[in-house]
Amino acid sequence: MSRLREIYQNEIVDAMIKKFGYKNVMQVPKIDKVVINMGVGEAKENAKILESAMKDMEAIAGQKAVTTKAKNSVANFKIREGMPIGCKVTLRGEKMYEFVDRLINLALPRVRDFRGVNPNAFDGRGNYALGIKEQLIFPEIEYDKVDKVRGMDVIFVTTAKTDEEARELLTLFNMPFAK
């Protein structure tokens, strides 16, 4: 069992019950899944760029990435429907907890001029979105083998009903919110 899952079961559940007064353990919010998305606009000219982005993402997530395709054509961006324009990984269970652990304790502290993540990036339904400007902050990525610095979106989908519950849950996971 991963370290964060043990912390969740042994400490976070009790703290959340005390703070929000849940009657049942199953009411306590938890992280349902983490979706990592990387938009690779240059992939329309060169398919190899998308392959290297997928390799980076697979190294970061420890799971195979899926290509995302354009939903509709946009003439200004020279994109046709069905063209591959990015990749994503959905993490659940143990791999999700291990990724969140590495993100919070290893990757985020390596960001230049890091003052904490935006505390207002909740969507109103208890989900949190985080933008990362470069994939080099993850220890799995070797600096010499990177062809281009790419950013990614990390979305935490929780079972929390409100943003307040989700913020408390992520704070108890030691998410470094900016003051």
What pLDDT is attached to residue 34? 94
Look at residue 47 and tell me whether its pLDDT is greater than 80: no
The Cα–Cα gap between 171 and 173 comes to 5
What pLDDT is attached to residue 129? 92
Look at residue 64 and tell me whether its pLDDT is greater than 90: yes
* Per-domain boundaries in the chain: 29-172
The Cα–Cα gap between 74 and 159 comes to 35
Look at residue 92 and tell me whether its pLDDT is greater than 90: yes
Look at residue 36 and tell me whether its pLDDT is greater than 90: yes
CB of 139 within 8 A of CB of 10? no
Which CATH topology does 29-172 take? 50s Ribosomal Protein L5; Chain: A, (3.30.1440)
H or E element that contains 33: strand 31-39
pLDDT digits (tens, 9 = 90+) for 20-30: 988 989 999 99
pLDDT band at 43 (very low <50, low <70, confident <90, very high): low
The Cα–Cα gap between 99 and 92 comes to 10
